[in-house]
Structure 1
Amino acid sequence: MPNVVLHKQGQTYRDEVQPRTNLVVRAGIRQFPYPHLQYGCGMGKCAKCACRVLRGGEHLPPPNWKEKKQLGERLDAGYRLACQLWLEHDIELAQDAPEQAPTA
């Protein structure tokens, strides 16, 4: 089962999730990493769930068109939209505070 590490605002949150887990879906039903993961629409339209992938990115599929549209150059800095990722492997993510989030 995949292990998830989320860094946010100086805190670190860890949990083990079932394969094919989407963190935004889990946050929406109040499971890990709720309430720590910031998210909005859950459909790749708002980019509020953008996270920087620190480890495990090699196991993720290539960015889809929604991520390319919302993240632009941030993709090159390792950002992905959590709502678009269904986890199969361990991953470590960092989510910037809303006021510090880079702009596309």
Structure 2
Amino acid sequence: MLAPGSGWQAARAPGIGRGTAVEVAANAVIPAALGTGAWTEEAALEAWAALPSPGTYGKLRQLERWLGGRDGRPFGSAGRLQGGLLLQADYCARGCCGRCPLSPPA
């Protein structure tokens, strides 16, 4: 699994579905490979950019609807999903609507 370019599919095993495999790649494999020097920073960034979204988390459903409408996919990659989690924690969960970087100008 720690070979650059192997992709998130290498994290799949019996009982581990697509979403969990993406989560394992995003939260364990890529950071460990970079931290141990098994991958270069370039290889880790390339692997990160290629990760699809594991699926939107429940707490992001409202933000997802607001950003993308019914047919949009604002969290279509793992990186965008992580960004959504940051927005939700820093703005949505604190009642800071209108102060979020995605809010329309006043």
TM over 0.5: no
Q: Which has the larger radius of gyration?
A: 2
Please state which structure has a larger fraction of its residues in strand: 1
Please state which structure has a larger fraction of its residues in helix: 2
Q: Identify which of structures 1 and 2 has the higher relative contact order when contacts are C-alpha pairs closer than 8 Å and 6+ apart.
A: 1
Query: What range is the shorter-chain TM-score in?
Result: under 0.3
TM-score by length of 2: 0.25
TM-score by length of 1: 0.25
